[in-house]
Chains A and B, each alone.
Chain A
Amino acid sequence: MISAWSRSDGRKGIRNVVAVAYLVECAHHVARRIVDKSDDPDIQLIGFPGCYPNSYADKVMKAIATHPNVGGLVIISLGCESFNREGLAAAVAASGRPVETLVIQQNGGTASTIAAGLAAVARVKAIADAGPRIPMAPSELVIGTICGGSDGTSGITANPAVGRAFDRFVAEGATCIFEETGELVGCEAIMSDRAITFELGAELIASVEKAERYYTILGFGSFAPGNAEGGLTTQEEKSMGAYSKSGSSPISGIVKPGDVPPSPGLYMLDVVPDGEPRFGFPNISDNAEIVELIACGAHINLFTTGRGSVVGSAISPIIKICANPETARRLADDMDINAGRILEGAATIEEVGTEIYERTLAVAAGERSVSEELGHQEFILTYKSFEPVGPACLPRKQAA
């Protein structure tokens, strides 16, 4: 059993983070100073850089601020930006969490807001730390997965091993989320066969076709130069490898950023905006995808890498699984698990899958992941636009 933090919406947290959120880039420096001076791994920086309003950013910020791993929020506003700070504060207060708002223009500027922010963080943290604890079963976990810096080893070691761990978690009643429809281009037909309904299968195909259209208009696939240096030649080759992270369980539904899966099972997160391309690339870096997985309620994210990503995340721990044995040696201090041993015949996919499963439970129980220990708390949120998911995308509510 995991000793979790109990939240008023019934969800349970495996961390108790006090988030400091800047609502426009102009407030970033002040918020960062407050977090740096606090010097506490559980006081973390999040934020949105834009001055224009965006309902996606509003939804994701609210979802993150009321995420089960978050115990309280301090809002840092410049004062003239569009972000609805009152709405964000109200949502956090309604969730039963402590929240304080500081407006730089009303607080005497940089130095005095930093000082006031440090005091606000201390007050919020004292309330958050006194929050109730409750036992949590592994089946109550929401687990995301992402790959970054993929190479030709990712799809034959780390990704299928995560798939095995996902199969086990789904079988035990947990909720698992995989994503990046742009990295599922070429897999749409085989993926749709795993949908629990015919209609969901059609929605899965439509979401990948949307991603292909979107990336084609932008002129670049979800494919980085390092992918090619690591032996991957095409988008569809990368996709086949990435897809294996999803395991072999039936697919229960499709969610979009900020939607929390309504019941346990395996879900695909559709990260590609709806409508004509307006704000640029769907996800400008891996971290943007991680933030969206967290906005869907992920307590922990399993990150596979071949070339050697070093990132972590604010709010939810990242567990790093290295696919390539050479990278695992070169960046040994950044990896939780070396799945490259599969390539060298030193472990099976099954064994590494079990290792990932056990490491996930240990991190859920409070052990710090490698990227947490190293202080990685990346966070990025940009502009997007989405329509709500259609009725075929979610499993029908079971009668009580």
Chain B
Amino acid sequence: MTAILLHPNDNILVVTAAIAPGDPVPIDGVAVIVPMAVQVGHKIARRALSLGDTVIKYGAPIGSMTAPAAAGDHVHLHNMKSDYIASHMRDTLERRSES
């Protein structure tokens, strides 16, 4: 098992063993090709997600989609955001001062 469903209402799965690009991952009994590398602890879409969709993990909302994702796609900072406080990375201060 390379990705697990934590709660029946979730629309993402948590990756439990590293996935290589093109690996088939069983999602709700169907083998879905994951197009990109995804590391342990990261999330993949359980089904197609649209811009603005609420992301559900542990059965609870954990943020919103900022771009669409197909089933099996990596769901992370590039396509979702917090509904509370923006997340930051090591280059955040540089990016803030440039803008």
Q: Is the CB of B58 within 8 A of A240?
A: yes
The total of interchain contacts (Cβ-Cβ below 8 angstroms) comes to 105
Q: Is the CB of A231 within 8 A of B40?
A: yes
- Cα A95 to Cα B55 in complex, Å, equals 53
B42: CB under 8 A from chain A? yes
- Given contacts A185-B84, A235-B84, whether A228 and B75 have CB atoms under 8 Å apart is no
Taking chain A's interface residues, is the majority helix, strand, or loop, or is none over half, making it mixed?
Answer: loop
Stretch of A148-156, A249-257, A311-319, A352-360 at the chain-chain interface: A148-156
Q: Is the CB of A156 within 8 A of B14?
A: yes
B45 to chain A, nearest CB (A): 12
Taking chain B's interface residues, is the majority helix, strand, or loop, or is none over half, making it mixed?
Answer: loop
The digit string for A186-220, where 1 denotes a CB below 8 A from any CB of B, is: 11001000000000000000000000100110001
What's the tally of chain B residues with a CB closer than 8 Å to chain A?
32
Which residues from A are CB-within-8-Å of B15? 152, 231
A388: CB under 8 A from chain B? no
Q: Is the CB of A223 within 8 A of B87?
A: yes
- Cα A386 to Cα B89 in complex, Å, equals 30
Q: Is the CB of A228 within 8 A of B77?
A: yes
Which residues from A are CB-within-8-Å of B76? 228, 231, 233
Q: Is the CB of B88 within 8 A of A220?
A: yes
B interface residue numbers (CB < 8 A to A): 1, 4, 6, 14-16, 39-43, 55, 57-58, 60-63, 75-77, 80-90
Identify 28 residue pairs between A and B in the complex whose beta-carbon atoms are under 8 Å apart, listed by A's number.
Answer: A152-B14, A152-B40, A152-B42, A186-B61, A187-B60, A190-B60, A215-B85, A220-B85, A221-B82, A221-B85, A223-B85, A228-B76, A228-B87, A228-B89, A231-B39, A231-B43, A233-B43, A233-B77, A233-B80, A233-B82, A234-B80, A234-B83, A235-B84, A236-B84, A237-B57, A240-B62, A325-B40, A345-B1
A interface residue numbers (CB < 8 A to B): 151-156, 185-187, 190, 212, 215-216, 220-221, 223, 225, 227-228, 230-237, 240-241, 306, 324-326, 343-345
